[in-house]
Structure 1
Amino acid sequence: MKKISIVIPAHNEEDNVVLIHQRVKEVFAKLKNYTFEIIFVNDGSRDQTQAKLEQLARNFEEVKFIEFSRNFGHQPAVKAGMDLSTGNAVISMDADLQHPPELIPDMIKKWEEGFDIIYTIRTYPKQISAFKRKTSTIYYKFLSAISDVNLSEGGGSDFRLMDASVVGVVRNMNEADIFLRGLSNWMGFRRAGIRFTAGERTFGESSYDLKKMMKFAFTGITAFSVKPLYLAAYLGFIFSVFSIFGYGIYVVHSFITKTEISGWASLIMTVVFFGGLQLIIMGIIGIYLGKIFKQVKERPNYIIRSKNF
């Protein structure tokens, strides 16, 4: 019998961990040729998530838990579960039940066909705002255009299956800002996609605010490409040529008309514009320098406070 490891990060999900365990168990009750383990990763929860996980672990042998010393983030939590998994394949999914466990048999079927990575292509239900759907689509298209990975539309979900051989590659990676959505594409292997409609969060509220989403977006962009640095260089070159050309026109005009062009407002606006442009370029360089700074310190992606296996 083959073993499937289910990795579920949990941050303040006290009301959801029991439900998702029950639904996963119901799915595997119908899969007679597979055993499973559920590895919950408590990512610095401040509610009763840890107490619920310890209770589940006492009552069900398939339930494992990892408790972080603090909140390290969603991606390190997924990696921690992968690092300690023992299955022939690993499925990562969220604890809020937006990733339907009922899709697991379809993922396993694709895996048995010989694919190493089964990713999911998320579509949103009608009740999700058009703004969220549009911004998500724009982000992944922009990420694909500006980086060296190609995330298909809707394919930026952390609901995926990886063969044990792929998980072994992930274990050996020690990136300071790990971005598994991009890594699963960058590694190659044989891949297949399955579409699903995201469910609604059953309990609680998402901890992903605008600040975290923006940080996640910059992590994805800078983790797989230096194109932003080239873009900064191209902008500098273009505006330098433009300024030389514009100044030439000014000199010619002054000699022909024997007058000077006045315009303090346009001058100030030009100074402000180029000053802002320089700050943007310095910010881009600073992000990459910051990533190098964090990488060379070689601090771990996460610290485990306790676990039951």
Structure 2
Amino acid sequence: MELISVIVPCYNEEEAIPFFYKEMDRVSKLMNEFDFEFIFVDDGSKDSTLEIAKKLAQQDGRVKYISFSRNFGKEAAIYAGFDLSNGDYCVLMDADLQDPPALLPEMMNAIQNEGYDSAATRRVTRKGEPPIRSFFARQFYKIINQISDADIVDGARDYRLMTRKMVDTILDMKEYNRFSKGIFGWIGYDTKWIEFENVERVAGETKWSFWKLFKYSLEGITAFSVVPLQIASIFGIIFSLIAFIMIVVIIIRTLIFGDPVSGWPSLVCIIMLIGGIQLLSIGILGQYLSKTYLETKRRPIYIEKETNIGVQDEE
């Protein structure tokens, strides 16, 4: 039978994993024409996430786990899950059950019977999410779709079922600074979008604060667009033209009307404005330079501390 690899990035999810496993076990029994493997990727958790995964592995041979030496971030966990999976199909899911496993049969039908390469999910509501967070999330999707080549759907979740060919293509992109939502859209392939209403976490608390989401959005923009660099250049051109025009105006006023230039408060404001624009432009340039710096180091995307995957394969 064909194998489905279920990849579950985990960071401090000790409360949610038992609920997730119970629900996935139920769904896997309904899809008994497939074999399953459950890969729990412990992203340097500080709770009992790894211990729970180990207990499940002892009870169920389908359960596999890998633990990182420290917290490398969800993007590294996603890559590791893809890298270690053996399935003919791979599905990426969160452990908190905000990605309903019950949608998996419909997603598989889209690939096997409708000819799609992947089936992805998107939320049509953001019930339970703070309004300010929802507002900025929607603005982010609008901005990144306008300034980049990546096709990122508003409300898109990481919950996605893919063929092995698509997963291998993702693994070929070995960049250190990863933004999976953008990678999924950038590589192409035919994708069917399945909509569902937002689901609350089954247990535990979200690890994504507003600040972390803001930094993640900057990662996405710098990873798939150079428009911010172009904006910095445009600022330079505009202020250079304004400065040139003002120089001409001041010279003419002085020669014709003998009008001395006065007003130090306005001068200070102009200096502050131009200085701010310069610092903004340098900051934008620094963001791209830092990404290049990290890529040239060629550091590993993740470091494995402990796993049972090789052991199970040998057995």
Which interval holds the TM-score relative to the shorter structure?
over 0.9
Query: Does residue 1:300 correspond to 2:300, yes or no?
Result: yes
Moved over 6 A (4+): none
Partner of 2:133: 132
The number of aligned residues is 308
Contact 2:14 2:48 in 1 (8 A): yes
Letter in 1 for 2:104: I
Unpaired segments ≥5 residues, structure 1: none
Partner of 2:252: 252
* Per-residue Cα deviation, 1:75-125 (whole angstroms, up to 9, x for no partner): 110110010111111110111111111111111111112111222112334
Partner of 2:272: 272
What secondary structure does 1:222 align onto?
A: helix
Query: Does residue 1:2 correspond to 2:6, yes or no?
Result: no
1:24 Cα deviation (Å)? 0.9
Q: How far, CA to CA, are the matches of 1:190 and 1:164 in structure 2? A: 14
Provide the identity percentage.
37
Contact 1:125 1:198 in 2 (8 A): yes
What secondary structure does 1:159 align onto?
A: strand
Q: How far, CA to CA, are the matches of 2:33 and 2:12 in structure 1? A: 33
Partner of 2:199: 199
Contact 2:6 2:39 in 1 (8 A): yes
Contact 1:10 1:43 in 2 (8 A): yes
Letter in 2 for 1:249: V
Q: How far, CA to CA, are the matches of 1:126 and 1:200 in structure 2? A: 8
Letter in 1 for 2:83: D
Pairing of 1:1-309 with structure 2 (within 5 A): 1-112=1-112, 113-155=114-156, 157-309=157-309
Q: How far, CA to CA, are the matches of 2:64 and 2:84 in structure 1? A: 10
Q: How far, CA to CA, are the matches of 1:110 and 1:3 in structure 2? A: 17
Q: How far, CA to CA, are the matches of 1:10 and 1:218 in structure 2? A: 23
What secondary structure does 1:184 align onto?
A: helix
Alignment TM-score, normalising by the size of structure 2: 0.94
Moved more, 164-173 or 179-188: 164-173
- What is the RMSD computed on CA atoms of the aligned residues? 1.3
Moved more, 292-301 or 245-254: 245-254
Q: How far, CA to CA, are the matches of 2:185 and 2:128 in structure 1? A: 30
Partner of 2:313: none
1:248 Cα deviation (Å)? 2.0
* Per-residue Cα deviation, 1:155-174 (whole angstroms, up to 9, x for no partner): 2x211111100111122221
Q: How far, CA to CA, are the matches of 1:168 and 1:47 in structure 2? A: 32
Q: How far, CA to CA, are the matches of 2:125 and 2:49 in structure 1? A: 27
Q: How far, CA to CA, are the matches of 1:124 and 1:82 in structure 2? A: 29
Letter in 2 for 1:260: P
Alignment TM-score, normalising by the size of structure 1: 0.96
Contact 2:133 2:210 in 1 (8 A): no
1:205 Cα deviation (Å)? 1.4
Q: How far, CA to CA, are the matches of 2:130 and 2:218 in structure 1? A: 23
CA gap 1:288/1:123 in 2 versus in 1, 3 angstroms:
same
Letter in 1 for 2:139: I
Contact 1:141 1:151 in 2 (8 A): no
Contact 2:123 2:155 in 1 (8 A): yes
1:282 Cα deviation (Å)? 0.7
Contact 2:179 2:220 in 1 (8 A): yes
1:253 Cα deviation (Å)? 2.5
Letter in 1 for 2:260: E
Q: How far, CA to CA, are the matches of 1:2 and 1:150 in structure 2? A: 30
Q: How far, CA to CA, are the matches of 1:93 and 1:27 in structure 2? A: 14
Contact 2:19 2:202 in 1 (8 A): no
What secondary structure does 1:137 align onto?
A: helix
Q: How far, CA to CA, are the matches of 1:194 and 1:225 in structure 2? A: 27
